[in-house]
Structure 1
């Protein structure tokens, strides 16, 4: 999985360390919802049943392959 230096740093935070690579990859490949930001970055959300159905938001660079950020989005509703 390709990722930015920013993601590597942010992932060390306690609230992000529990996010599994498998969940990120699942979100990238089979999102429940997708939106494109004005800067070209791609936001994808996926419901993660293993985390009580919370939605994981993964932000990708415009190439669609490089992870820039990943976190559980408390405000997202589908």
Structure 2
């Protein structure tokens, strides 16, 4: 495991900070909704890069995005949180 393979994101659906993969769409380990790694994609001004490489629009349709990564394991969560 490498830290650069993960990021911590705020899930807007369950209001939890969770560990997800740094590339691709990951199911939130708390609620299962799809999350993009926004924090590793922000532009130089701290905002969303347009257009979003994951097709996110910040709307309800984002809830239907297909998950493209394997589920995050408890081992991965523990690793990231211990090194965050």
Q: Answer yes or no: same fold by TM over 0.5.
A: no
Q: More strand by proportion, 1 or 2?
A: 1
Structure index of larger Rg: 2
